[in-house]
Structure 1
Amino acid sequence: MNAKSEAQWRDPKRYLWSLGLLVPLFPVLGALVYVQTGQIWGWWLTPLIVYLIIPALDFLIGTDHSNPPESAVANLEADNYYKYIVYAYIPLQYAGTLITVWFACTELGPLGIIAGLFSCAYVNGIGINTGHELGHKRDAFSQFLAKLALAPVAYGHFYVEHNFGHHRRVATPEDPASSKMGESFWRFLPRTVIGSLRSACEIEAQRLERKGLGFWHWRNDVLQAWAMTLLFFGACTIVLGWMALVFLVVQAVLGASLLEVINYVEHYGLLRQKDANGRYERCLPKHSWNSNHIVTNLVLYQLQRHSDHHAHPSRAFQALRHFDDSPQLPSGYASMMMLAYFPPLWFKVMNPRVVAHHRGDFNKANVHPAKIAKLKSYFETFSKTASA
């Protein structure tokens, strides 16, 4: 690309990024369908889209490996349009959540409530990604909105742990959010939930201690985020009764699990190496699984370009790049998270890719301790087959 064409470059996906705003509107559509027809199928649209339509579109539309020219990045990141798209998700998220909670507590039967739970959970689970994008911004308003986006899933501690824990320890055995080769999602889930919660509290306690403050001080970011959850859940409970609290807690568990299955996918089996002083190398694009599948990237603010995100955390979503040396997932997140729910299928698809990425070197993989002997043999078999 020459200098003239770089100067004239325009983001070809500029208006497509707003497609992600359709997601929180699906519960609203579910309510409209129910009001007009008395049918609950509208609330099944969100899980249907997440688990079927988006993977199908990823397959049909394919990938995009193109990157914005570096000369255009400054203007691209300064364009407030992209910021407002992310901001707009939050009021729509709350509207969809409140509408669904109201119908679940006042109108719906058991099957309708189940449909509403999944619809609400996926809106708020994807809302965690909104909180993720805003949590990386440096202005106070974006950071406040990040906590607000996390409140409906009671996962406000993610704001602290992700930015100051996960990004520092990513692709190491010490990181609770980096999955190990041979570790199933169902084994990873309790480890990451408990480990991330503990890590967030420790990080925030240390930050406050440096300021001469105690953990229970009002400036505690974890407590601030949890307070938002308590206010939201409490207000809904006061208005709609205990049924609202039960509904919100269950959808929060489902929504948080959506985040954690994505965490499971993003760094499976990848390991940063230590230098002569015992310090981990800096995070590089090769330490995160990447995907360029267009549709899921549009819905998730290009979260799938995770290799660039971890190598350059302050880079805005619209400017994230593809790197040829980053390990590539065979499909988008929407497909991969379904695969992760079935460990034998996951291992069959991903273990060979981990071995190939590490060129058969077992010492370069982040391996679950209980599977060391089995996977070491697996690496050796791969190496012998490759050299034959």
Structure 2
Amino acid sequence: MLGMFVPGAMIIVLGLAVLFNQLGWNAATHVLWWAGPILVYILIPLIDIFLGPDGENPPEEWMERLENDKYYSYILYAYIPLQYITFFMAMYLISADSISWIGYENGLSLVDKIGLAVSISFVGGIGINTAHELGHKKENLERWLSKITLAQSFYGHFYVEHNRGHHVRVATPEDPASSRLGETFWAFWPRTVWGSLTSAWHIEKTRFQRMNKSHWTIKNDVLNAWLMSVALFGVTIAIFGWQVLPYIILQAILGFSLLEVVNYLEHYGLKRQKTASGRYERCAPSHSWNSDHICTNVFLYHLQRHSDHHAYPTRRYQILRSWDGAPSLPSGYASMIVLAYFPPIWRRVMDKRVVAHYEGDLTRANVHPKKVDKYYAKYGVTANS
């Protein structure tokens, strides 16, 4: 149930804003609109450190019952209305000239509006994780709910690219969503954003070519997902006016950037080896960075048990298992996201773990092409090792 806390928190923020202004705590109210980054970048990492990891798995005899328990699906479904209640609430607060019932006679200040847009970007960004869980399932309802959830961040092509692109090419140089050893997040971001978009389009175009049909159709899963975003943004502007457009764009970019920084840390430097046939080996637990830190796992539907997810993509989140042999992050995703924003700190923490994982043989790692000579020289590896 705590997975719904992030969208629910923004509704709580609204209530606290009313209370704080009634108590005369006006200065404290301004901090509330920045609740999203405070929660994700500060509170959750601190709780992760305090609670630590938990590598326990459900007993085998419980697996089938857990797999079929609809309770866990209902939690996913419940995220979506909360997500859009929060989204429209934020657009109303941003566009209103006066919000006297909260205590803002002249509406929110520019800084407050930006803070609110940033906060709802975290709701949309974590919503992409909800969409990720739903998009892997076989039921049409859950797949359509996945696209609806992605509409806020205008990242509907993720539904195609992640399932039919990333899971095929994961931990290979060809995958735009697998980061390379020595690649900073800021270099990875444009590569993965553009690469994922073009890959999704190519995947759908190829699918329709095989059927001898035009891909310019509403049945194209990239186009129909994008149209949901166009409809959402159009309705929002029609209701609240053009002044909300910059904030819609801001929250969308930050929302899908939250997804991409998670992508960055999930497979950093890891690489599947090629077999004698020239094909890549099957994805194994060793090709994903895991973290069993309790707090972030609760908020992200066990996304951090990533090795099991790639081994069994349709397995529901409640029965994902922890693998002893999988490489592990030193902390939860929330903490590692902050490190990823600062490349020198990230490299200091993670590069040695990649080197240790491959026992010093970086010819087996996914090294940034521009950094190969540097890393080989640093760790005593030659190109012909």
**TM-score normalised over the length of structure 1:** 0.92
Counterpart-to-counterpart distance in 1, 2:268 and 2:284 = 15
User: Is 2:13 the counterpart of 1:30?
Assistant: yes
What does residue 121 of structure 1 align with? Answer: 121
CA contact (8 A) 2:118 2:250 kept: no
CA contact (8 A) 2:114 2:247 kept: no
Counterpart-to-counterpart distance in 2, 1:273 and 1:300 = 29
CA contact (8 A) 1:27 1:97 kept: no
Aligned-pair CA distance for 1:313 = 0.8
User: Is 2:77 the counterpart of 1:94?
Assistant: no
User: Is 2:72 the counterpart of 1:72?
Assistant: no
Counterpart-to-counterpart distance in 1, 2:332 and 2:203 = 32
Aligned-pair CA distance for 1:74 = 1.3
What does residue 203 of structure 1 align with? Answer: 203
Aligned-pair CA distance for 1:297 = 0.1
CA contact (8 A) 1:40 1:112 kept: yes
Q: CA RMSD in A?
A: 1.1
What does residue 384 of structure 1 align with? Answer: none
What amino acid is the match of 2:44?
I
CA contact (8 A) 1:26 1:96 kept: no
Counterpart-to-counterpart distance in 1, 2:322 and 2:297 = 12
Deviates more, 1:141-150 or 1:200-209: 200-209
What does residue 112 of structure 1 align with? Answer: 112
Aligned-pair CA distance for 1:29 = 2.1
CA contact (8 A) 1:286 1:326 kept: yes
What does residue 281 of structure 1 align with? Answer: 281
What does residue 157 of structure 2 align with? Answer: 157
What amino acid is the match of 1:101?
M
What does residue 293 of structure 2 align with? Answer: 293
Give the match's secondary structure for 2:253: helix
What does residue 3 of structure 2 align with? Answer: 20
What does residue 130 of structure 1 align with? Answer: 130
Give the match's secondary structure for 1:304: coil
Aligned-pair CA distance for 1:69 = 2.2
Aligned-pair CA distance for 1:207 = 1.3
Q: C-alpha deviations, 1:254-304, integer Å up to 9, x for none? A: 111100000000000000000011100000000000000000000000000
What does residue 355 of structure 1 align with? Answer: 355
Q: C-alpha deviations, 1:327-350, integer Å up to 9, x for none? A: 000000000010000000000000
What does residue 51 of structure 1 align with? Answer: 41
Aligned-pair CA distance for 1:62 = 0.7
What does residue 336 of structure 1 align with? Answer: 336
What does residue 84 of structure 1 align with? Answer: 74
CA contact (8 A) 2:293 2:332 kept: yes
User: Is 2:34 the counterpart of 1:40?
Assistant: no
Aligned-pair CA distance for 1:237 = 0.4
Counterpart-to-counterpart distance in 2, 1:99 and 1:183 = 38
What does residue 103 of structure 2 align with? Answer: none
Aligned-pair CA distance for 1:121 = 0.4
Counterpart-to-counterpart distance in 2, 1:126 and 1:170 = 21
Counterpart-to-counterpart distance in 2, 1:231 and 1:193 = 22
**TM-score normalised over the length of structure 2:** 0.93
What does residue 182 of structure 1 align with? Answer: 182
Give the match's secondary structure for 2:173: coil
CA contact (8 A) 2:135 2:143 kept: yes
CA contact (8 A) 2:156 2:222 kept: yes
Aligned-pair CA distance for 1:311 = 1.2
Give the match's secondary structure for 1:329: coil
What does residue 323 of structure 1 align with? Answer: 323
Deviates more, 1:178-187 or 1:316-325: 316-325
Listed as ranges, the matches of 1:232-251 within 5 Å are 232-251=232-251
CA contact (8 A) 2:171 2:271 kept: yes
What amino acid is the match of 2:239?
V
What amino acid is the match of 2:123?
V
Give the match's secondary structure for 1:380: coil
Aligned-pair CA distance for 1:130 = 0.3
Counterpart-to-counterpart distance in 2, 1:210 and 1:250 = 38
Give the match's secondary structure for 1:269: coil
CA contact (8 A) 1:31 1:99 kept: no
Aligned-pair CA distance for 1:209 = 1.9
What does residue 311 of structure 2 align with? Answer: 311
Deviates more, 1:352-361 or 1:37-46: 37-46
Aligned-pair CA distance for 1:206 = 1.1
What does residue 11 of structure 1 align with? Answer: none
Unaligned runs of 5+ in 1: 1-17, 382-388
Q: C-alpha deviations, 1:130-185, integer Å up to 9, x for none? A: 00000001000000000011000000000000000000000000000000000000
Q: C-alpha deviations, 1:236-257, integer Å up to 9, x for none? A: 1011111222211110001111
Unaligned runs of 5+ in 2: 97-106
What amino acid is the match of 1:345?
I
Q: C-alpha deviations, 1:344-376, integer Å up to 9, x for none? A: 000000000000001111111000010001111
Counterpart-to-counterpart distance in 2, 1:69 and 1:212 = 48
What amino acid is the match of 2:196?
S
Deviates more, 1:154-163 or 1:246-255: 246-255
What amino acid is the match of 1:30?
V
